[in-house]
């Protein structure tokens, strides 16, 4: 089981990057996790990279404001169901400034929303990593969630 977060942006200019790295290291204590940021307009862009990762059998999950919303406990339960359904791993796809392209949306097995509001992709990446860590804590009955 591996978690893979794929997003588009400029990581060096991202003030949330140290916070994301902290949550990635916390998650890594329980599960392997990879956080990949593609540059906007890169030769191997978000869509191509997502196809490459999905070819390894990971379940693609898109983040979009029109997706299904969860409480933290509900997300924790759903995360466990996804992990049972696809033991190879999960791929979370976060679009760039223009959001997800129609082919990326179509590639996703499901779409989730962190909020009905549009979030900057930097914040979405941070909130997602924190919520994955929180979900693990909920399932392991760790005090972080309280």
Tell me which architecture the domain covering 3-110+125-145 has in CATH. Answer: 3-Layer(aba) Sandwich (3.40)
HSE-CB for 3 with a 13 A CA cutoff? 25
Q: Indicate the pTM of the whole model.
A: 0.94
Structural Rg of the chain based on CA atoms: 14
Nearest-5° Cα angle at 126, 121 to 127:
95
pLDDT tens, 34-49? Answer: 999 998 876 678 999 9
pLDDT tens, 105-117? Answer: 999 999 999 998 8
Q: Looking at the DSSP assignment, which residues form a beta bridge with residue 38? A: 8
The structural domains of the chain, with segments of one domain joined by +, span 3-110+125-145
> CB–CB of 76/134 below 8 Å?
yes
Q: Looking at the DSSP assignment, which residues form a beta bridge with residue 90? A: 3, 59
In angstroms, the CA 1 to CA 13 distance is 30
């Amino acid at each position: 089981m591996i978690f893979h977060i794929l997003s588009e942006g400029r990581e060096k200019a991202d003030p949330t990057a140290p916070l994301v790295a902290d949550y990635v290291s916390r998650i890594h204590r329980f599960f392997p996790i990879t956080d990949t940021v593609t540059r906007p307009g890169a030769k191997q862009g978000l869509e191509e990279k997502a196809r490459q990762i999905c070819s390894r059998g990971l379940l693609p999950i898109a983040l979009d404001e029109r997706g299904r919303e969860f409480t933290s406990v509900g997300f924790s339960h759903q995360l466990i169901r996804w992990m049972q359904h696809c033991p190879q791993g999960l791929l979370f796809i976060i679009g760039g400034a223009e959001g997800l392209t129609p082919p990326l949306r179509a590639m996703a097995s499901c779409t989730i929303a962190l909020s009905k509001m549009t979030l900057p992709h930097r914040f979405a990446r941070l909130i997602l990593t924190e919520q994955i860590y929180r979900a693990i804590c909920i399932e392991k009955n760790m005090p972080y969630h309280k």
